[in-house]
């Protein structure tokens, strides 16, 4: 499980998950600084195609963004 700790709620979700782990189990936890993984060119291309996809599938721009986010990163940031 990965957590992006960008606000108090997500940080608390992470802490709660760690507290719920089996105490006698063996766990590996890695904490690293967040780094953006998409270049400016990739971001521009995404924002260029998103409205076309939204129109094709009958979504608003924001709905399409949420659908794509869920499709490609799942519940990672929920």
Three-state DSSP state, 72: helix
pLDDT for the residue numbered 11: 93
Question: Residue 54 and residue 50: Cα distance in Å, rounded?
Answer: 6
Q: pLDDT-derived band of residue 2, with 50, 70 and 90 as boundaries?
A: confident
Structure confidence at residue 77 (pLDDT):
52
Tens of pLDDT along 43-77? 999 999 999 999 999 999 999 999 998 888 876 55
Which residue shows structure tokens 């967040």? 34
pLDDT digits (tens, 9 = 90+) for 3-52: 889 899 999 999 999 999 999 999 999 998 888 778 899 999 999 999 99
Structural domain spans, the chain: 8-73
């Amino acid at each position: 499980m990965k957590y992006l700790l960008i606000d108090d709620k997500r940080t608390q979700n992470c802490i709660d998950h760690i507290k719920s782990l089996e105490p006698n189990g063996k766990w590996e936890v890695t904490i690293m600084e967040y780094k953006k993984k998409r270049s400016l060119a990739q971001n521009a291309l995404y924002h260029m195609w998103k409205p076309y996809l939204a129109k094709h599938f009958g979504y608003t721009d924001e709905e399409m963004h949420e659908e794509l986010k869920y499709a490609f990163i799942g519940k990672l940031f929920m």
